[in-house]
Amino acid sequence: MRSTGIRIHFLHAWRFMKKRWLSFLLLGVLLFASGFVYTTMAESIAAIRDASEAYFEETNQEDFSIEVSDRLTASEKEHVRDVCGLQTTETLSALSSADSSCHEDILSSRKETLIQVFTGVSLEARLFMDIPLFRDDGNHRMRILNDADSINKSHIEEGNKPLSSGEIAILGNYARANDIALEDEFVVQGETFIVTGFVLFPDYNLPVFDHPFLFDSTKQTLALMSDEDFAMFDAPKRAYFAGVLEEVSASELEGMFDQAAFLTAPFLENLTLTENNMRSGAIYAEIEGGHAFALIVAAFIALLGLLIIVLSLLKTLRANSRPFGVLKALGVPDNALIFPFLALIGIFALLFLLLGFLAGQFAAHPMQDIFRDFYLLPEGKIRFRVVTLVIALALPLTLLLGLSFVVMKRLLGKRPVALIHPALTEWAKGGLKRFRIGSWRLSFLVRMQIAFIKRRPGKFAVFVVGLFGALFAGFFSFGMHDMLERTLPEYYGGTGIEVKAYTEDITFDEPAEGEKVLELSVRVNETNASLVALSEGQTLHPLKDSRGRDLTGSLAEGLVISRGFSDLSGLREGDTVEVTLAGDNLEMEITGVADIYAGSHVFATREVVAEWLFTDPSAYNVVYLSESPEVDYALLVFTDDIVEQLRDTHEIFNVFFRVLVASALFIALVVVYLLTVMLVEDHYYPLAMFKVLGYDNSIIRKILLGGYVKAALLCFVVGIPVALLAFAFTRRWMAEMYEFMVPLAITPVQVLIYFALFLATLFLGTMSAKRKIDKMSLKDALAIYQE
C-alpha cells in the first residue's frame, strides 16, 4: 500500500523533548549563554584589537616609561641655586612654575643622563599637570598632558586638535558622561576654554590618579591644550620619560636598570615596561587571553548543557531500550531511531546558539565600551565575523551532536536480543562481585558506602573534581566581593583625614592648621613605595596591625609597611631595608605591618625623614586636615571624593562580582545536581538489586548518597584552607605580574553563608536523587533480574 518513513520516529523524538522540556530549557539557556559569552567577548575584543593596533601605531605608543623623582638631586639643586638664582626650590614641579627655562634645563640634562644609562633607546619627556575641577556635581579632576612630538602622540577621536589659545580637547567618555559637546565652553581654574575635540593618549601609566587601575571617566578626564597654553598654564608640571626601544630588547633594558643605574642617575625611580603595566599590559593580556578565556567559558557552559542532554538521552534510551530492541528486530535500523533525536536536538541547539550569537553581536557594543572606558582606547567597528559565527555555533553544535550520536550509537548499536534481554551479567559488570570489601570492623552501612564509591572510581573523581571546581568558583567570588571596599575606603575610613592639602613645594613654615606630612615616592630595596611620613604624636592617621594593635610605637623605631606593600615586596617585619630617594639612602628596620591594603604605602616618622632629606625636621609637603583649610594650597584632595569616586567605579564592579557570585552558585547548583543525578544513573542496577533484596528505600538512599555527601562535605572543609592558599597565591602573582594588589579575603561570616548555600544545594541535589531512588519501582528492579 505505502512505504512508511521516518515521520513517526520524529514524532517520538519530539515527544521525548516535550516530556523533558525542563532539561531542554536548561540546555537552551546554557547554549544561549555559551553563544552569547563567546560572541560578546570575541567580537568586542576583535574590534578593540583592530582599532588599537592602528592607534598604537599612529600615536607611537611608548615601549616603556621611566619615572623620575620630583625632588631635585643635590647637584640639580646646586644648578638651580647658582644658575637660575632660586634658593628654596626643592622639587621639579615647583621649578616648572618658578622658572620654565631652568625647568627645561634640568629635564634635558636628566634626559641626557638617562640616554647614557639606557643605550639604544629614544626618549621624550612627558609633562602633565593635575588640576581639580569644581563642578556642580562635586569635584572632578583633570590631567593636562603636553602634546608629544614623537612618543605617545595625542589622538583626536572627534573634532579638532586645540591649536590656538583658549582651545581644549578632553576625553570623549568624560564629555558624554557630563553632557559636554564640541564647541561647548569649559572652565579650568577660572579660565574659559572651548572644547574643540575629544582626545586620547596612549600612555597608560598616566591616566590613573589614585588607584592602580581604576579610572572613573565620569569624574576624571585627560586634556590637551595648545602648546602655548600648556606652557603658560599656572600649575606645577610633573614629568616622566616615555621611551621607545630602538636597538635593545626589553630584557636588556631591564638589565641596564638593575645594574646600578641609580649611581649615574640618582633621580631615577622606576622603569615600567608597557607590557608589564597593569593597564596597558592588561590590554595585551586581554587581547591575547580574552579570546581563549571566552572560548573556555563558553565551552564550559556548553559542556554543562551537553551533560544534561546526554544524561537525558541515556535515561530515555534506557527506558526505551526494549521497545527499540523490538523495533530493531522488526527491521528498523539504528539510524532511523537516532537521526530524529539528533535532528531535533540540533535544530533546537542551533536556534539558541544563534540567538546567543545575535544577542552577543549587540552586547559586543557595550562590552567594547567597558573595555574602552577602562583602557581609554579608540572605538573599533563591531562587524559580523564569519569566524566568530563558526566558532560560536559550529563548535558547540558539533560537540553536542557528536557526543549524542556516540552515546546513542553505543547504546542502540547492540544486537536486538541484547537490547530486549539485557543480561544480568552485563549490568552487574564491574559491580556486584566487588561488594565484599572493606574491613569488617566498619559498619555495614559505611562498608557499602565505600563500596559504592569504589565501584566507579572514575566517576567519583569526576564528582570530587567537579564539586571542587564549583566550590572554588564560589570561594573566589566571595573573596572578590567587596574587594575594592577593602582598599581606599577602608584605609581612609580608618583615619580622621578629610582633606589632604598639598603645597607647591617642600615647605618649612608652620601651617595654620592640620598635621604636617611628607608624602614621597621612594624605593624600599627594589620596590617602589609611597612613603607617608607622619608627624610624631599626630592622631589623625592611626596605624594598626591585623590584630588591631597600635603601631605608633613601632613607627618611632623604624618603618611600618602596609599589608599590601608586604605582599608586593615580600618584605616582612624584622627585615632591614634600604630606603632610597633621589640618590639618598637610609637604612631602616621594618618594625610593623599595618592592616592596610590600599596601594604600596609605607610609613615613617616625618621628623626622621625630614632631617634625613632636608636637614630640617620641620619639612613637609602635605597637610592632613579633618576639615577644609582656611588658607590656599596648591591642591586639595578630599578623601570623600576619592572614596566616592572609587565607589562609583566600584558600582559596576560590585554588580559584576554579584553576577559572578550568582553564576558561580548557579553553576555549582547545576554541577551538584548533575552529579547527584549521575550517581543514581550510574548505580542503577546495584540499587535495583538492593530493592530486589528487600532493602528499605531509606537504607538504599543512605548507602548511595551517604558516602558522596560525606565526600562533598569533606571537599568543602578542605576547600577553605586551599582557597586561602589560592588567595595568597593570587595576591602574590598579581603583585608580581602587575605590581597590583588584589585584596582577596573571605570572612568567617561569608564562609558560613557559603556553607549554608552549599548545604542547600547539596540537599536539593540529593533530594532529586532520593526521588529517583524512591521512584525506581520494584517491578522494574525485578524485571532486570528476572531473565
Partner 1 sequence: MDISLKNVEKTFMQTKVEVAALRGVDLEIPSGEFVVVLGPSGSGKSTLLNVMGGLDSVSAGEISIGGKDIASRSEKGLLAFRRDNLGFIFQQYYLLSTLTVAENVETGAYGAKDAHSPLEALRMVLLEEHADKYPFELSGGEQQRVAIARALVKKPKILFCDEPTGSLDEKTGKEVLKLLANIHADLRTTIVLVTHNKAIASIADRVVTLTSGEIVADHQNDKRVSPDEIHWH
- Which residues form the interface with partner 1 (CB under 8 A)? 1-6, 8-9, 11-12, 15-16, 19, 320, 322-323, 325-333, 336, 415-417, 420-421, 425
- CA-to-CA distance for 376 and 322, rounded, in angstroms? 64
Nearest CB to partner 1, comparing residues 382 and 776:
776
Nearest CB to partner 1, comparing residues 415 and 710:
415
DSSP class per residue in 90-124: -BHHHHHHH-HHHHHHHHHHHHHHHHHHSTTEEEE
Please, what's the b/e burial string for 510-533 (b: 16 or more CB within 10 A of its CB; e: otherwise)? ebeebbbbbebbbbbeebbbbbbb
**Whole-Å CA distances, 582 to 83, 270, 522, 613, 681:** 21, 11, 8, 9, 71
Nearest CB to partner 1, comparing residues 327 and 608:
327
Specify burial of residue 173 (Cβ count, 10 A radius: 0-12, 13-18, 19+): buried
Residues, the chain: 787
Nearest CB to partner 1, comparing residues 336 and 720:
336
CB of 329 to partner 1, least distance (A): 5
Nearest CB to partner 1, comparing residues 101 and 425:
425
What is the identity of the amino acid at 314? L
Q: Which of helix, strand or coil describes residue 779? A: helix
Q: Which of helix, strand or coil describes residue 509? A: coil
Nearest CB to partner 1, comparing residues 331 and 458:
331
Nearest CB to partner 1, comparing residues 320 and 730:
320
Q: Is the Cα dihedral 687, 690, 694, 697 positive or negative?
A: negative
- CA-to-CA distance for 216 and 647, rounded, in angstroms? 10
Pairing label, strands 559-562, 584-594: parallel
β-strand partners of 605: 534
CB of 693 to partner 1, least distance (A): 19
Pairing label, strands 527-534, 601-605: parallel
Cβ proximity of 490 and 598 under 8 Å: yes
CB of 11 to partner 1, least distance (A): 6
Nearest CB to partner 1, comparing residues 7 and 381:
7
CB of 427 to partner 1, least distance (A): 13
Specify burial of residue 743 (Cβ count, 10 A radius: 0-12, 13-18, 19+): buried
- CA-to-CA distance for 356 and 370, rounded, in angstroms? 20
CA 170 to chain CA mean position, Å:
28
Q: The cell 581563549 sits on which residue?
A: 292
- CA-to-CA distance for 47 and 368, rounded, in angstroms? 8
Q: The cell 597593569 sits on which residue?
A: 278
Nearest CB to partner 1, comparing residues 436 and 547:
436
CB of 684 to partner 1, least distance (A): 18
- CA-to-CA distance for 480 and 655, rounded, in angstroms? 12
β-strand partners of 127: 239
CB of 775 to partner 1, least distance (A): 15
CB of 428 to partner 1, least distance (A): 10
Nearest CB to partner 1, comparing residues 19 and 658:
19
- CA-to-CA distance for 382 and 53, rounded, in angstroms? 15
CB of 748 to partner 1, least distance (A): 52
DSSP class per residue in 231-271: HH--SPPEEEEEEEESSS-HHHHHHHHHTTHHHH-TTEEEE
CB of 685 to partner 1, least distance (A): 16
CB of 218 to partner 1, least distance (A): 57
CB of 711 to partner 1, least distance (A): 32
Nearest CB to partner 1, comparing residues 9 and 455:
9
Give start and end residues of each alpha helix (H) in 538-638.
552-557, 563-569, 606-614
Nearest CB to partner 1, comparing residues 20 and 126:
20
Cα 354–359–362 angle (5° rounding)? 135
CB of 433 to partner 1, least distance (A): 9
CB of 9 to partner 1, least distance (A): 7
Nearest CB to partner 1, comparing residues 244 and 692:
692
CB of 386 to partner 1, least distance (A): 39
CB of 26 to partner 1, least distance (A): 20
- CA-to-CA distance for 177 and 218, rounded, in angstroms? 5
Nearest CB to partner 1, comparing residues 322 and 647:
322
Q: Which of helix, strand or coil describes residue 537? A: coil
Nearest CB to partner 1, comparing residues 117 and 688:
688
CB of 437 to partner 1, least distance (A): 19
Closest CA to 579 of 556, 600, 602, 553: 602
- CA-to-CA distance for 338 and 401, rounded, in angstroms? 11
| Longest CA span, the chain | 116
Closest CA to 394 of 45, 40, 38, 44: 38
Nearest CB to partner 1, comparing residues 330 and 387:
330
